[in-house]
Amino acid sequence: MSIPVVIIDYGVGNLFSLKSSFSAIGQTAVVSQNPEEIRQAERIILPGVGAFEDAAKKLNDSGMAALLDERRKAGIPIMGICLGMQLLFDRSFEYGEHKGLGFIHGDVRPISEIVNPELKIPHMGWNALRKAKNHPLLKYVNEGDCVYFVHSYSAVNCEDAVIADCEYSAPITAAVASGNVMGCQFHPEKSGNIGLSILRAFCEIKGDEL
């Protein structure tokens, strides 16, 4: 039996709002750390808040990293959210240098290295999306629609994968995609109707569109 959406539970952060936001768009989402359940997922969400190193370690130690790689190769749409998006990249420079999942090429670096030093860190609040590509994940999003960000690190050196960015004295990577792997730096589950429309679009994505 297949499960429409599985939200991966690997011990970081609170998944209540994320699960509720799928209910709000009429989708069944199961929060799980069970490999058998995750193998039944038609789509996978990789959430995450907190520190990169700790989260990457939890993914590796639990065997989740290998399982995600298996599902990725099976063509299952996977979307990382916030730290979950950052984990999709090759490596992060958050307190040292740490390896990510490597599903999308690029690095994660402190926002303070990119933006005007007078700006506040974290980059927190509602910022307007600028589409870099037409991607099915953003099919309901209009140029300039605002979404909610909270982050101190940002994906860089990933120009090919960027499907939307926003402006914070410099371009900040907002959404990425590479094949069936996608990611949002912002929180769609906290971005009102625009955010819900992105989750709906993710649920409507078919393998042959990617």
Partner 1 sequence: MITKRIIPCLDVRDGRVVKGVNFEGLRDVSSPVALAEYYSNCGADELVFYDITASAEGRKLFTDILTETASKVFIPLTVGGGINTVNDFDRVLKCGADKVSVNSGAIRNPQLIYDAARIYGNQCVVLSVDIKRVGGEFRVFARGGRDDTGIEAIGWIKRGVDNGAGEIVVNSIDTDGVKKGFDLEMLSAVCKAVNVPVIASGGAGCIQDFIELFNALPGVDAGLAASIFHFGEVKISELKEKMQEAGIPARLV
Site for partner 1 (CB under 8 A): which residue of 11, 63, 75, 125? 125
- Does residue 150 interact with partner 1 by CB under 8 A? yes
Q: Which token pair is 190?
A: 């906290």
Site for partner 1 (CB under 8 A): which residue of 66, 120, 143, 209? 120
Site for partner 1 (CB under 8 A): which residue of 16, 95, 113, 142? 16
Rounded Cα distance between 174 and 178, Å, is 14
Rounded Cα distance between 138 and 37, Å, is 28
Based on the residue annotation, tell me whether 36 is a catalytic residue of this protein. Answer: no
| Parallel, antiparallel or unpaired: strands 171-178 and 181-184 | antiparallel
| Parallel, antiparallel or unpaired: strands 181-184 and 78-81 | parallel
Catalytic residue among 123, 135, 151, 187: 187
How many C-beta atoms surround the C-beta of residue 89 within 10 A?
Answer: 27
Based on the residue annotation, tell me whether 187 is a catalytic residue of this protein. Answer: yes
- Does residue 130 interact with partner 1 by CB under 8 A? no
3-state secondary structure of 205: coil
- What part of residues 51-110 is at the interface with partner 1 (CB under 8 A)? none
- Does residue 170 interact with partner 1 by CB under 8 A? no
Q: Which token pair is 67?
A: 């399982």
- Does residue 191 interact with partner 1 by CB under 8 A? yes
Based on the residue annotation, tell me whether 158 is a catalytic residue of this protein. Answer: no
- Does residue 14 interact with partner 1 by CB under 8 A? yes
Cβ(108)–Cβ(153) under 8 Å? yes
Catalytic residue among 82, 158, 166, 184: 82
Site for partner 1 (CB under 8 A): which residue of 28, 34, 42, 50? 50
Rounded Cα distance between 142 and 145, Å, is 6
Closest to 38 measured CA to CA, from 2, 73, 14 = 2
Site for partner 1 (CB under 8 A): which residue of 17, 28, 34, 142? 17
Q: List the catalytic residues.
A: 82, 187, 189
Binding site for partner 1 (CB under 8 A): 14, 16-17, 20-21, 23-24, 49-50, 120, 122-128, 146, 148-150, 167-168, 189-193, 195-196
